Structure 1
Amino acid sequence: MVEREKIDEIIRQTDIVDLISQYIQLKKIGKNYRALCPFHSEKTPSFYVSPEKGIYYCFGCKKGGNAISFLMEYEHLDFPDALRKLAKNLGIEIDTTKNLKYKELYEVNELATQFYTLMLTKEIGRRGQNYLKERKIDPDKLKEFRLGFAPSSGGLMTFMRQKGVNVEKLIQAGLISQNHEIFHDRIIFPIFNLAGRVIGFGGRGIDDYIQPKYLNSPETPIFKKGEILYGLFQAKEAMRAKSEAILVEGYFDLLSLYQSNIKNICAPLGTALTENQAVLISRYARKANILFDADVSGIKAALRAIGILINAQVDIHIVVMPEDYDPDEFIKEKGIDALNHLIASAPDFFTFYKNITKTNSVEDEVNLIKDLIEIISRIQDPIRLDRYLKHTAQVFNIPIDLLRKKVGMDFSPKKPPQPEKSAIKKHNPEEKLIILILNNLKYFNRAKEIVSSDDFNDTRIKNIFEILLKNENFSAQDIVDLKTEEDLKSRLLASLIDSEKLNEEDFVQSLNLYKKNILRTQLKTKISEAIKAGDDESLKKYKELLRK
């Protein structure tokens, strides 16, 4: 287990501006930095980073925290993996395996990967070897993606028993069901999370009679099909470098392009693209090329993907494949240069819709336009929405007012959320006091002379103050770890992002003022209680104290 002191050291040594700048573009605004929030769609920047305090906060979606929480949120990492990544950046060696919440599941998946890759190299895996040779998969890519083979005779359960893994863990990992192995006679594709850990598997039957042709692991505590993309672990750096992603339908399409040096590529896991997957793509790329099969199902899947990607703030393009080709077949027959040309000349999704309506009947054209309007109506940003509606009206000769009415546009002006100097006024007196202290922790010894735990009626604020008493190294970065309501943590982070530090004299003066306000609030409460209770003696005493 990593000691708390080591975790604190890693957080404090990490330059949060340098870290976040690796993922999004920050602009210096006064003492802080600002950007479009990477966690929700917005037109006006409301995401702020404080290098002084080592924290970030978005005034739009209310997400905030320190370096570790940013990595966890942005890269969908668990705490140990995010900590390990920060430590590696600093050249600090740590062992976080004991901290993994689902350590045994990761270990079981790793053992299963070793079993399947071993089977592919043995005589029992000859059919799998021949199949992959027919598909012209480069041996180096087999190793990089750790492809394997599940024999018809199984063998995984025996292998796991020899490794001391019980049946319950295999069931929990989604490798067996009702005492039968999930995968038989299939090429196995390990599925990695963004930290490179195997979280699940995909299997492709090597004979036509094996149904379904593609089979994924069932969902488990560490594997959610709609929250990860196949190949993203291998592709994320290339996607970030190009700021462009290529989305394909299948495992072999991905491998075929990847080994042809198109590495900014990923694929959904046999299901329609989800909003979570679209957000993942948008974190690494500003442009998404949809490269699906040219058949009817491929076109339908592309249209669905447009509808999901539309709010991820990415520029959507559709790579139009020649009829009867999938990307893998096209590369093998036409070559990678021909595919690169198709990708480079891919129309944006609007032009794609315009082009396909030209080849349809009037009724089909009407239906396609309705589909297009339905997709456009999902755009949350009113400026983008109105521009697309105007474009639609112009291209298809439809009155703009009709389109606006169709999508129910609200043109009332909405001011984007921004930090305000007066934000602290939204807090009650006790919150104001703890924010003042948190923002000026170097004067905490003076604060202890003036304020005590007994000054707080709010147990949440009292608990925070008592934590400060026990931990002299507490900082704004530690707010994330407080065991209190998320809403309170969010308010504290929001105020600290924009609060100015005070000199010692002003701090003490403000501290006394805030304490006086707290006492006045408490006395007013006691006066109300005394009135209700008919306690004249207490009422008189409290009123005298209030006048002082």
Structure 2
Amino acid sequence: MPRIPEEAIDRIRDSVNIVDVVAEYVQLTARGRNHVGLCPFHDDHDPSFNVSQEKQIYKCFVCGAGGNVYTFVREIEGISFVEAVRKVADLGGMSLPEPDRRMQAKEQAFDPLYQSMDLARKYFNHLLTHKPEGKVALDYLKGRGVDDATIEQFSLGYAPNAWDRYLRAATQRGFNPQILEKAGMVLARNNGNGYYDRFRHRVLFPIRAHTGRVVAFSARALASDEQAKYINSPESPIYHKSAILHGLYEGRDALRKAKQALIVEGQMDHLSLFQFGIENVVATSGTALTIQQAKLLKRYVEHAVLIFDGDRAGMSAAVRGIAPLIESGVDVRVVSLPEGLDPDTFVREHGKDALLATVEDSVPLVDFLVTWVGTLEDLTTADGRARATHHIADLIARVADATLRQFLIRDAADRIGIEEAVVIQSVQDAQESPRPQRREQPRETTVNTAREQFDPRPRQERELLIQMMSDNETADIVLSQIQPEDFSNSVYRQVAQIVANQRKNGWGSSVAHIVDCLTDEGLARIVSSLSLETGISNPDQVEMPVEDYITAFHLRRIDRQIADLNHQMRSAPAEEQIALMQTHKQLTIGRKAIKEGASYSGNSELTSIGDAAGEIVDSGPS
């Protein structure tokens, strides 16, 4: 999909009213300066979803969802950023710049492919539900417990036992056979004389992209002598199997509300769970979960439960799905069903409540991994425990959150029966081992991670940052006396740096624009939460003038420098003690002067003392 110029992104965001856009999805009621409603991102019964027309952002104070208008549409629709911009422009009745001719031609070339797949969906579904020849497939589905409503909802179909039925139906409607071949629906004959249908005498399961368009099919053989029980559409210009999760489109609302995905292997597993009312489920279609699929799923959920057969093959399939999920920041648990039972069979024999009970009792990540390596290695021997450690360390190394990684290391050491230091070293070795580089396409790079939890202290720094986001003049005053790197918390530093960049480029420090510049969803939610805190948007309710915040900021900075000097003086050589004591004295005098009303930024003597102290602290004892 072609990129949209930054100017158009800013123009659309600044022209639409987020209240109007959100109101297309959520019933809102005006309350004071904001609008409130039931949060669409969790099962909300007491309105906790706030939308600020003034700030052009939203925030849920229960589940933490927050952001600007693009964030909202991206999350509610489960679409990409570019698709969200287009959707917002459409809702606001605004036009987008015409894409360049090459990109426009590429998009137009896809249209016949999508149209041919939609024709196939309708054609095969009609044969299944309205033609006598489809009875064999209908009987198979009924025998598997699939009801009429599910057949209709998922557009299940039947490909007849003939060589060219779909080919003839499509060409009669004007489709070029070469388009059908490119879409993966027909194959060229070996002699070069024409084409024939790819799917014959099979039940067809349409595969939809997250946008809802059918892009491929998975086909289940009805003849018992077929060598391949399932065959799938090949890769095509519109179907990239590594980026498609079966059932994501149909289950998008349930996934978003539950914040949890149940991941199964096959289409029948998915259909059965969905039909039993468990709609927050997706299927990998029998292939290993990819990083693209995991990142797509992360748009909807925070947690995933892998549900696989309880045999060794099922455990191996679960392990293959763990790495991309934890690498994408999804919390993972695992359900191993009794051997011989798949999710489809289990839910039909034991019911919905029993399956949900197994999900409630799902095994934490490390517990499952230790059970898995126990099937591969002898954990009663030193060599076996060492090899098991390497297996698990390779997965733990992919966890981005340092705190979670430390907990997993500790748990793994306890379960395997090995020293924690050994696991730490093994994880570090795995982190240093080269992995294939993946292409990333962030809109703008932000500093390191924003997953660390927002630290509400010190409150004065937080209030100062809030005022910087709310008022351009305040931002200019603060940035003339404080550098972004001077903030004590990395989250504060990132936001302050974005504000500084905006002011440097002559832009206003709009909260909606700041959110737009953030690629980390956690940080975007923090910014939204800050901006919607009670009293923030009202200048009359701030605790003290901005100058007092700046003064308090510098006093804390000097206090940190004094504390660091005290630490150094305890271990510094005698010849350095005099210089350290002199600096300590000057800082103490400077601190007193600031408390009595002297300006730090306007006082060259105080500034030079602070800079000198900073250099001493940074250098440490020689």
TM-score (norm 2): 0.56
User: In the alignment, what sits opposite 1:75?
Assistant: 78
Q: Distance in 1 between matches of 2:495 and 2:310?
A: 52
CA 1:132–1:82: 2 relative to 1, 3 Å: farther
Q: Distance in 2 between matches of 1:217 and 1:358?
A: 37
Can you list the C-alpha shifts for 1:162-220, whole angstroms capped at 9, x where unaligned?
11111121122121121222211111111112221111111111223223221111112
Q: Distance in 2 between matches of 1:420 and 1:104?
A: 45
User: In the alignment, what sits opposite 1:129?
Assistant: 138
Q: Distance in 2 between matches of 1:217 and 1:186?
A: 13
- 8 Å contact kept, 1:188–1:201: yes
- 8 Å contact kept, 2:73–2:88: no
**Residue number among 494, 509, 526 corresponding to 1:419 in the alignment:** 494
**Residue number among 409, 421, 433 corresponding to 1:389 in the alignment:** 409
**Residue number among 310, 313, 319 corresponding to 1:294 in the alignment:** 310
- 8 Å contact kept, 1:246–1:289: yes
**Residue number among 200, 203, 206 corresponding to 2:219 in the alignment:** 203
User: In the alignment, what sits opposite 1:117?
Assistant: 125
- 8 Å contact kept, 1:358–1:365: no
Can you list the C-alpha shifts for 1:128-167, whole angstroms capped at 9, x where unaligned?
1111111110110010000001112041110011111111
CA 1:391–1:111: 2 relative to 1, 3 Å: same
Q: Distance in 1 between matches of 2:497 and 2:396?
A: 38
TM superposition shift of 1:333? 2.2
Q: Distance in 1 between matches of 2:78 and 2:253?
A: 12
Q: Look up the equivalent residue of 2:378 and give its one-letter code.
A: S
Q: Distance in 2 between matches of 1:83 and 1:11?
A: 14
SS of residue in 2 equivalent to 1:188: strand
Q: Which stretch shifts more, 101-110 or 363-372? A: 363-372
Q: Distance in 2 between matches of 1:399 and 1:277?
A: 35
Q: Look up the equivalent residue of 1:163 and give its one-letter code.
A: R
- 8 Å contact kept, 2:270–2:282: yes
- 8 Å contact kept, 1:124–1:151: yes
Q: Which stretch shifts more, 77-86 or 370-379? A: 77-86
- 8 Å contact kept, 2:298–2:328: yes
User: In the alignment, what sits opposite 1:318?
Assistant: 334
Can you list the C-alpha shifts for 1:422-459, whole angstroms capped at 9, x where unaligned?
668779xxx95xx21x4499xxxxxxxxxxxxxxxxxx
User: In the alignment, what sits opposite 1:251?
Assistant: 267
Can you list the C-alpha shifts for 1:262-315, whole angstroms capped at 9, x where unaligned?
100001133200011111222211211101122322210101111221122222
User: In the alignment, what sits opposite 1:187?
Assistant: 203
TM superposition shift of 1:93? 12
User: In the alignment, what sits opposite 2:612?
Assistant: none
CA 1:228–1:16: 2 relative to 1, 3 Å: farther
Q: Distance in 1 between matches of 2:179 and 2:84?
A: 22
SS of residue in 2 equivalent to 1:370: helix
Q: Which stretch shifts more, 184-193 or 171-180? A: 171-180
Can you list the C-alpha shifts for 1:351-387, whole angstroms capped at 9, x where unaligned?
2234456677336665444322211111223222222
SS of residue in 1 equivalent to 2:119: helix
Q: Look up the equivalent residue of 1:253 and give its one-letter code.
A: D
Higher RCO structure (Cα 8 Å, ≥6 apart): 1
TM superposition shift of 1:74? 8.0
- 8 Å contact kept, 1:125–1:151: yes
Q: Look up the equivalent residue of 2:250 and give its one-letter code.
A: Q
Q: Distance in 2 between matches of 1:303 and 1:124?
A: 42
Q: Look up the equivalent residue of 1:304 and give its one-letter code.
A: R
- Corresponding position: 1:277 with 2:352: no
Can you list the C-alpha shifts for 1:57-102, whole angstroms capped at 9, x where unaligned?
xxxxxxx9972997399834596786357746x7x799xxx98642
CA 1:260–1:426: 2 relative to 1, 3 Å: closer
- 8 Å contact kept, 1:109–1:200: yes
TM superposition shift of 1:408? 1.9
Q: Distance in 1 between matches of 2:197 and 2:75?
A: 33
- 8 Å contact kept, 1:16–1:67: no
Q: Distance in 2 between matches of 1:351 and 1:116?
A: 45
User: In the alignment, what sits opposite 1:262?
Assistant: 278
Q: Distance in 1 between matches of 2:122 and 2:494?
A: 51
Q: Distance in 1 between matches of 2:509 and 2:333?
A: 50
User: In the alignment, what sits opposite 1:157?
Assistant: 167
| Unaligned segments of structure 2, at least 5 residues | 1-6, 27-50, 59-66, 189-194, 433-447, 450-488, 518-530, 532-622
- 8 Å contact kept, 1:310–1:379: yes
**Residue number among 336, 353, 361 corresponding to 2:378 in the alignment:** 361
TM superposition shift of 1:398? 1.6
Q: Distance in 2 between matches of 1:66 and 1:183?
A: 43
Q: Distance in 2 between matches of 1:391 and 1:440?
A: 45
Can you list the C-alpha shifts for 1:363-417, whole angstroms capped at 9, x where unaligned?
6665444322211111223222222112222232322222222222799x99846
Q: Distance in 2 between matches of 1:93 and 1:204?
A: 45
User: In the alignment, what sits opposite 2:179?
Assistant: 169
- Corresponding position: 1:143 with 2:166: no
SS of residue in 2 equivalent to 1:230: coil
CA 1:325–1:368: 2 relative to 1, 3 Å: farther
| Unaligned segments of structure 1, at least 5 residues | 24-48, 57-63, 442-474, 481-497, 499-548
User: In the alignment, what sits opposite 2:254?
Assistant: 238
Q: Distance in 2 between matches of 1:215 and 1:87?
A: 38
Q: Distance in 2 between matches of 1:10 and 1:421?
A: 21
- Corresponding position: 1:13 with 2:16: yes
SS of residue in 2 equivalent to 1:408: helix
User: In the alignment, what sits opposite 2:562?
Assistant: none
Q: Distance in 2 between matches of 1:73 and 1:174?
A: 31
User: In the alignment, what sits opposite 1:468?
Assistant: none
User: In the alignment, what sits opposite 2:233?
Assistant: 217
- 8 Å contact kept, 1:10–1:87: no
- 1:58-97 to 2 correspondences below 5 Å: 67=70, 71=74, 75-77=78-80, 83-84=86-87, 87=90
Q: Look up the equivalent residue of 1:165 and give its one-letter code.
A: F
Q: Look up the equivalent residue of 1:184 and give its one-letter code.
A: R
TM superposition shift of 1:240? 0.9
Q: Distance in 1 between matches of 2:160 and 2:413?
A: 57
User: In the alignment, what sits opposite 1:377?
Assistant: 397
SS of residue in 2 equivalent to 1:278: helix
TM-score (norm 1): 0.63
User: In the alignment, what sits opposite 2:437?
Assistant: none
- 8 Å contact kept, 2:262–2:306: yes
Q: Distance in 1 between matches of 2:284 and 2:373?
A: 27
- 8 Å contact kept, 1:357–1:368: yes
CA 1:8–1:245: 2 relative to 1, 3 Å: same
CA 1:316–1:53: 2 relative to 1, 3 Å: same
Q: Look up the equivalent residue of 2:271 and give its one-letter code.
A: L
- 8 Å contact kept, 2:385–2:418: no
Q: Distance in 1 between matches of 2:11 and 2:119?
A: 33
Q: Look up the equivalent residue of 2:137 and give its one-letter code.
A: G
**Residue number among 382, 403, 410 corresponding to 2:423 in the alignment:** 403
- 8 Å contact kept, 1:81–1:195: no
CA 1:73–1:378: 2 relative to 1, 3 Å: farther
Q: Distance in 1 between matches of 2:402 and 2:369?
A: 21
- Corresponding position: 1:336 with 2:346: no
SS of residue in 1 equivalent to 2:215: strand
* Identity percentage of aligned residues: 28
